[in-house]
Amino acid sequence: MKITSIEAIPFAIPYRKPLKFASGEVHAAEHVLVRVHTDDGITGIAEAPPRPFTYGETQTGIVAVIEQIFAPQIAGLSLLDREVIGARLARTVGNPAAKAAVDMAVWDALGRTLDVQVTELLGGFTDRMRVSHMLGFDTPEAMVAEAERMRETHGISTFKVKVGRRPVSLDTAIVRALRERFGDEVELYVDGNRGWTAAESARAMREMADLGLTFAEELCPADDVLGRRWLVSQLDVPFIADESAVTPADVTREILGGSATAISIKTARTGFTQSQRTHHLAEGLGLEVVMGNQIDGQLGSACTVAFGAAYQLTSRRAGELSNFLDMSDDLLTEPLEIRGGELAIRPGAGLGAEIDPDKLAHYRQDR
Ligand code: MUC
Ligand code: MG
């Protein structure tokens, strides 16, 4: 069970259609495949999606920090030394996606070594999650058409609508159009990626007061401390902290400070080990949790569902598991399939996912 080496392989797969939101846009999955090898001949895998506009990481930076700092720090440790691994990675500040991918590849390798699923190792509550689909910025007609397609093709009935543009009526009209088109058949919530001010957010939420939203997420910046508290105190739906609450300490600060009342857990930035801590904290604080998506590929989505399905709290709400549908291809030998609005855990040890060597050779950028 000893870690012998770690690889960080940059790859790029174009999106069929870019995802656009208030803090940025993504045209290609320029991610990093992380492989952790052990002396038993086992390889654990995970992927790191850089999101410079949210966490400051780049694809080149992720490869560099893994190759130059993390790999030498954890080579020689056992897969069971996860707290030691975490403590060594924590010596470097930031780099959440790089750390998360190393952590998840270690868990995958452990599952494969023990011949059990990662989701069972974590908690084993259920084997599937309902899926929530993220609707990026587009015209009202295109966003309604995308929701129709997701319902018809995949049975998805929960939608997170990206908002945060100006004037606010641009986005509130789209949420209204979705509600008018689908009535009570769909669950809707909104994510502003910090695009609005607190006052604009309050106005938008008033405009949407009759639309039966489930949540509002990160509508304005958490750094606008008083404005955000003022906003959250007047809402009658839970306010999700996403990019403002990456670590368990951030969650504590945002929640106790009145700047949020629910949280998003993203395995892409907290891996499995830190996400467990955040989950336990949320349970103790009595918070709603949504499993979020950092615009993950199929391997990242397999990680999200493995974690989300492991606990009652994280599997209660639909998880954001469908961004990979917009990619033109992926690296896995067996594609993930969303059926009847659900994504099931992969069968097989670890994460149950295998990399197709031909696809990796085609999309990798280091050769
Ligand atoms: C989300 O929930 O905000 C957009 C940026 C990012 O890092 O994740 C996405 C989705
Ligand atoms: Mg968000």
Ligand 1 neighbour 21 (Cβ under 6 A): yes
Q: Would the CB of 43 count as within 6 Å of ligand 1? A: no
Closest CA to 13 of 305, 224, 349, 295: 295
Q: What distances in angstroms separate CA 316 from CA 43, 270, 295, one per listed residue?
A: 32, 20, 21
- Catalytic residue set: 162, 191, 217, 242, 266, 294
Nearest bound ligand to CA 54?
Answer: 1
Q: Give the contacts of 203 (CB within 8 A, at least 6 positions apart).
A: 168
Ligand 1 pocket mutation pick from 193, 244, 317 by most atoms within 8 angstroms of CB: 193
Taking the C-alpha atoms of residue 75 and residue 323, their distance in angstroms, rounded to an integer, is 33
Q: Which atom of ligand 1 is nearest to the CA of 320?
A: 2
List per-residue pLDDT tens for the chain, 367 residues long: 999 999 999 999 999 999 999 999 999 999 999 999 999 999 999 999 999 999 999 999 999 999 999 999 999 999 999 999 999 999 999 999 999 999 999 999 999 999 999 999 999 999 999 999 999 999 999 999 999 999 999 999 999 999 999 999 999 999 999 999 999 999 999 999 999 999 999 999 999 999 999 999 999 999 999 999 999 999 999 999 999 999 999 999 999 999 999 999 999 999 999 999 999 999 999 999 999 999 999 999 999 999 999 999 999 999 999 999 999 999 999 999 999 999 999 999 999 999 999 999 999 999 8
At 168 the pLDDT is 98
CB of 191 closer than 6 angstroms to any ligand 1 atom: yes
Q: How far is the CA of 178 from the centre of ligand 1 (A)?
A: 21
Cβ within 8 Å of residue 192, ≥6 positions away: 22, 162, 163, 164, 201, 216, 217, 218, 219, 220
- What is residue 285's predicted lDDT score, i.e. its pLDDT? 97
What whole-number distance in Å separates Cα of residue 298 and Cα of residue 163?
Answer: 25
**Structural domains in the chain?**
3-115 (3.30.390.10), 120-344 (3.20.20.120)
Residue with tokens 């992720």: 62
Cα-to-centroid distance, 268 and ligand 2 (Å): 13
Centre of ligand 2 to C-alpha 52, Å, is: 14
Dist CA 130 CA 156 (whole Å): 8
- Contact present, 160 and 21 (Cβ < 8 Å): no
Burial class, 265, CB count within 10 angstroms (exposed 0-12 / middle 13-18 / buried 19+): buried
261 Cβ closer than 6 Å to some ligand 1 atom? no
- Residue nearest ligand 1's atom 6 by CA: 294
301 lines ligand 1 (CB under 6 A): no
Distance 4 CA to ligand 2 centre (A): 36
Q: Is the CB of 54 under 6 A from ligand 1?
A: yes
Full 3-state SS string of the chain: CEEEEEEEEEEEEEEEEEEEECCEEEEEEEEEEEEEEECCCCEEEEEECCCHHHHCCCHHHHHHHHHHHHHHHHCCCECCCHHHHHHHHCCCCCCHHHHHHHHHHHHHHHHHHHCCEHHHHHCCCCCEEEEEEEECCCCHHHHHHHHHHHHHHHCCCEEEEECCCCCHHHHHHHHHHHHHHHHHHCEEEEECCCCCCHHHHHHHHHHCCCCCCCCEECCCCCCCHHHHHHHHHHCCCCEEECCCCCCHHHHHHHHHCCCCCEEEECHHHHCCHHHHHHHHHHHHHCCEEEECCCCCCHHHHHHHHHHHCCCHHHHHCCEECCHHHHECCCCECCCCCEECCEEECCCCCECCCCECHHHHHHHECCC
Residue closest by Cα to atom 8 of ligand 1 = 294
Over 64-97, what HEC string results? HHHHHHHHHHHCCCECCCHHHHHHHHCCCCCCHH
Query: From the CB of 242, is ligand 1 less than 6 Å away?
Result: yes
Please determine, for the modelled complex, whether the ipTM score is greater than 0.95. yes
* pLDDT value at residue 367: 85
